Amino acid sequence: MNFKTCLLQASAAAALLAAMIPAGVVWAADAPTKSATPAKPAPKSKANMMTRDELRACMDEQDRLAKISATVKKDQEALDVQLAEVKKIDAELARKREALAPEDAAGRQAILDEEVKRDSVAEIYNTKLRSLREQAKSFDDGRAAWVQQCTTRDYDEMDEAAIMKERRAAAAAAAKKK
C-alpha cells in the first residue's frame, strides 16, 4: 500500500456518506444575487502542505514500520511453534504420569527430569513472548505517531513521484554494486 492509498482510505468514508444522500434531495439555498460571480476553486492550502523532506520522512517511516510488522509476524509464528512444542510436552507428561506405577521410583525421576526440560522450554517461550509484546507495543506506538503526523496533512503528488524516482535510482545503483 503506497502513501497515497492510505490517504485515499480516509476520503473513502466521505465518498460513502455522499453516496448515501438520495439523489432527489434538493437543498434550499439563497438565490444568488445578480452581481455574484461563479465560484472559483480554492487554491490548495500551503499551510497544511508537507515539504518534500517531510513526505520523504513519512514514506521512510512507513517502510520502516512495514519491516517491523513483518518481523513481528515472523516472530509470532515462531512462538506459535514453540507453544505447540510446550503443549505437546505437557500432553506427553500427563500421559506418562497416568501410566506411572506408584512404586516406580525410576519412572518418577524420569518424569521429573522431563518436567525440568519442559520448564526450561516454557521459560524460553515466556521470555520471547515478553520481548515480542514489547516489540508489538513499540510498533503500535510508532504507527499511531505516523498516522498522526503523516495522514493528516496534504502533499504534492509530484513530490511523491520524485521520491519514488530517487528510490528506484538508489535501488538500481545498489544492484549494480553487487
- Written as nine digits, the cell of 22 is 438520495
Q: Using an 8 Å Cβ cutoff, are 89 and 121 in contact?
A: yes
pLDDT reading at 36 higher than 90: no
Domain assignment of residue 39, yes or no: no
Predicted TM-score of the model (pTM): 0.63
Q: Is residue 55 part of a domain?
A: yes
More confident residue, 159 or 19: 159
Q: What is the pLDDT of residues 95-128, one digit of tens each?
A: 988 888 888 888 889 989 999 999 999 999 999 9
Contact (Cβ atoms closer than 8 angstroms) between residue 56 and residue 163:
yes
Residue 26 covered by a domain: no
Residue 155: inside a domain, yes or no?
yes
What's the total number of domains in the chain?
A: 1
Please name the residues in contact with 64: beta carbons below 8 A apart, sequence gap of 6 or more.
142
Check residue 101 and give its pLDDT. 86
Q: Is residue 134 part of a domain?
A: yes
Q: What is the DSSP string of 105-137?
A: HHHHHHHHHHHHHHHHHHHHHHHHHHHHHHHHH
Q: Do the domain assignments include residue 3?
A: no
Can you give the residue range of the structural domain that contains 87?
49-177
At residue 19 the predicted structure's pLDDT band, cuts being 50, 70 and 90, is: very low
Is residue 93 one of the residues assigned to a domain? yes
Question: Cα-flanking dihedrals φ and ψ of residue 154, to 5°?
Answer: -80, 165
Query: How many percent of the chain have pLDDT more than 90?
Result: 62
Average pLDDT on 14-31 reads: 34
CB 93 within 8 A of CB 157: no
